[in-house]
Structure 1
Amino acid sequence: MTAHVVVGTDGSPSADAAVGWAAQDAARRGCVLRIVHVREAWGRGAESGTHPGFDDSQAEEARNVLDAAKDLARGRAPGVTVETSLEAGKSAEVLRREAEDAEQVVVGSRGRGGFAGLLLGSVSLALAGHVAAPVVVVRGKDVVEGDRETRGEIVVGFDGSPESEAALEYAFQEASRRGARLRALHAWQLPVLTTGIAAYTPLIEDVSDGERRLAAETLAPWREKYPQVEVEEKVFYAHPVFALGEASAAADLVVVGSRGLGGFGSAVLGSVSHGVLHHADCPVAVVRARGEG
């Protein structure tokens, strides 16, 4: 199949932002953009064919959603080839299947199905960390409202884990593709110390030196491979979610691995990536390590 980027849409403002973002991404990659809309059943007794008038109106609405998304995509990236697909089933399951041979999957942070108070939609969480392809969740109030100007900066979080290596590879590729700066953040913390923290200053300094060495050694091969990418390396004592959340305010994209060294082995989505997905002020790419199952 031709290389393609998949984006899910339900016609919501968040989905429209995802479609626009995905169109530009597909254009940069030289890929086809595949826009998918899923008609979900209303429940038992509302199966297709049992209420013809209702079925017809729903089918027309679905076509309108796809037509509007196609127009939006072509307006945002005039040269991109656009395909549309109307599917039936559960949105998360359909998009997981679509992700199997996609370059990337893009979704909005919330759709029409979510409660207004939720920070992140169920479909976004069901995809991030669960599929092999990178998943981009398009979020940020000004991004969704179309008011955000390009910053020319990508932020990536790394900790030396295989997942963060995958995130670094993605981030360097994306920075090279966009001609953007790359801010590589390595935030670290000590275990909680209840008393006498001042007495541990030499230990903290030693650990800090070790973390800086780790960061430099981790980034060195990527700097060599992508000499054209301007890299700002930042190593500091902070919670990674806080550090990445703050950095997201000045970024076009934040990149994280699906899990890091601090996560439980059975967790499909780590606490840092989960936290960043909920609190970043810009789109977030969640990248899995190759072979991660």
Structure 2
Amino acid sequence: MSGHVAVGVDGSPESGAAADWAAQEALLREVPLRIVHAYEWPGAATVPVVSPDAQCRWADELLADAAEVLRREHASLEISTRPLPGRPAAALASEAAEADLLVLGSRGLSGVMGFLLGSVGMETISMTERPVVLVRLPGQAAAPDRAAPELCRDVVVGVDINQFCDPLFDFGFAHAARHGHRLLALYGWSIPPVVRDAAALLAAKRQMGQDVARRLTEILAPWRQRFPSVEVVERSPVGAPAQLLVRAAANAELVVVGRRVRRAFLGARIGPVAHALIHHCATPVAVVAHR
């Protein structure tokens, strides 16, 4: 790794929010920030709206303007820019491979432009094994849960006790330590459908719940020792993981979710939980690849 944070900009307000988030993260990590813009020249079979030279000039101006804004706000931050001609998803994935972290703007299920509504953002995530953080506009964030008694902004980590989660914990605990936030480790599980009787269901839930909680505590033990300054909360309720994570995100600073590195028959996939968080979570989402 070269030790920098990369952020993709495209002129949208969402990418501006991503640039702000990335600048703050680069400052806390004490690494440079690289602002990139990925674009593809029109092919021979398309009708070009602008010439390649004009597109290059527009990319350079976009990057210069974004850098100027961030330099005014963060004078001590080392900032560079890089245009990325070529297929956008591949170009962004290649850039991510050189960085510690890639940050992109997100519109979730609203709007018709931006990195994450077309195939570019999703494809970028599936093509890189580096962490990618997706940032919404501040006004798109959900209102905090008024029923929640605490004002603490958690770093929520979606855990699967049956999978290898070390990369998620590494990212989540380090982020919580840098920002001084609490870490909420959340694992959602379900009762086997063969249990039909209400009394048997309650007994199974109690017995299985104790075992699930014990396994979660065991998995987290070495990370508590490695990051003693981070307050850790463990929760293992019955429920769908994606729904539980979206609900927990209402009072979170960041949600960290995993993506299995594997190739499907029709190409790379990011998994149903990560997919749901990307589209429905108003809080910034970190997608961390793991094997």
2:75 matched to which residue of 1? 78
TM-score (norm 2): 0.84
Asked if 1 retains the 8 angstrom alpha-carbon contact of 2:14 and 2:105, the reply is yes
For the residues of structure 2 that align with 1:128 and 1:186, how far apart are their CA atoms?
Answer: 23
- Report how far residue 46 of structure 1 moved: 6.2
For the residues of structure 2 that align with 1:88 and 1:63, how far apart are their CA atoms?
Answer: 11
Closer, same or farther: CA 122–45 of 1 in aligned 2, 3 Å: closer
Is 1:157 aligned to 2:154, yes or no?
no
Map 1:114-263 → 2, pairs under 5 A: 115=112, 120-139=117-136, 142=139, 152-192=153-193, 195-259=196-260
2:97 matched to which residue of 1? 100
- Report how far residue 252 of structure 1 moved: 1.2
For the residues of structure 1 that align with 2:214 and 2:152, how far apart are their CA atoms?
Answer: 29
One-letter code of the match for 2:17?
Answer: A
TM-score (norm 1): 0.84
Asked if 2 retains the 8 angstrom alpha-carbon contact of 1:164 and 1:256, the reply is no
- RMSD, aligned α-carbons: 3.0
| Matched position secondary structure for 1:215 | helix
Asked if 2 retains the 8 angstrom alpha-carbon contact of 1:151 and 1:252, the reply is no
Closer, same or farther: CA 103–269 of 1 in aligned 2, 3 Å: same
1:11 matched to which residue of 2? 11
Alignment deviations for residues 25-82 of structure 1 (CA, whole Å, 9 cap, x no partner): 11111111111112322332569xx99x844433332222111211232244332111
Closer, same or farther: CA 269–171 of 1 in aligned 2, 3 Å: same
Asked if 2 retains the 8 angstrom alpha-carbon contact of 1:258 and 1:269, the reply is yes
| Matched position secondary structure for 1:42 | coil
Structure 1 residue runs of 5 or longer lacking an equivalent are: 145-149
1:65 matched to which residue of 2? 62
- Report how far residue 193 of structure 1 moved: 5.0
Asked if 2 retains the 8 angstrom alpha-carbon contact of 1:163 and 1:257, the reply is no
How many residue pairs end up in the alignment? 278
Q: State percent identity of aligned pairs.
A: 37
For the residues of structure 2 that align with 1:169 and 1:26, how far apart are their CA atoms?
Answer: 17
Asked if 1 retains the 8 angstrom alpha-carbon contact of 2:161 and 2:187, the reply is no
Moved over 4 A (4+): 116-119, 263-267
2:84 matched to which residue of 1? 87
Closer, same or farther: CA 177–143 of 1 in aligned 2, 3 Å: farther
Asked if 2 retains the 8 angstrom alpha-carbon contact of 1:183 and 1:233, the reply is yes
Asked if 2 retains the 8 angstrom alpha-carbon contact of 1:245 and 1:280, the reply is yes
Alignment deviations for residues 190-214 of structure 1 (CA, whole Å, 9 cap, x no partner): 2445843443322221111111111
For the residues of structure 2 that align with 1:119 and 1:91, how far apart are their CA atoms?
Answer: 12
Structure 2 residue runs of 5 or longer lacking an equivalent are: 142-150
For the residues of structure 2 that align with 1:246 and 1:140, how far apart are their CA atoms?
Answer: 19
Asked if 2 retains the 8 angstrom alpha-carbon contact of 1:158 and 1:186, the reply is yes
